[in-house]
Amino acid sequence: MSCIERIEYEILLQGASFRESAEYIKKHFPEWYEVEPGYRLFDAHLIGVPPVVLGIDGDDVIFPYTKPCRGTFLLRANGPDEVAKLRARTKKKR
């Protein structure tokens, strides 16, 4: 079981492509960041096509999660530490 499956999350999109997930985040969340694939979030390395877009809403992180057989899910999970880590990065996009 992956680390992501051990946390509480809400599924925002299911069966979307990585591109659709990135567009959804940019459209619905005013604060978003670009990271490289492999970025460590909730103790897991993110899978995706560079750049991977992550959104922030309050203390929640919105992020794509890819499973080989089931495609990409867009998830929302509470993570104030992850939010702080993202905000500390210099690549703030919006």
**Site for other proteins contains 13 (CB under 8 A):** no
**Which of 48, 55 has the CB closer to other proteins?**
48
CA gap 21, 15 in Å, rounded = 10
**Site for other proteins contains 48 (CB under 8 A):** yes
3-state secondary structure of 27: helix
Are 44 and 68 a contacting pair, CB within 8 Å?
no
CA gap 51, 49 in Å, rounded = 6
- Site map 66..85 versus other proteins, x via CB under 8 A: xxxxxxx-------------
Q: Which residues would be at the binding site for other proteins (CB under 8 A)?
A: 2, 17-19, 36-38, 40, 44-50, 64, 66-72
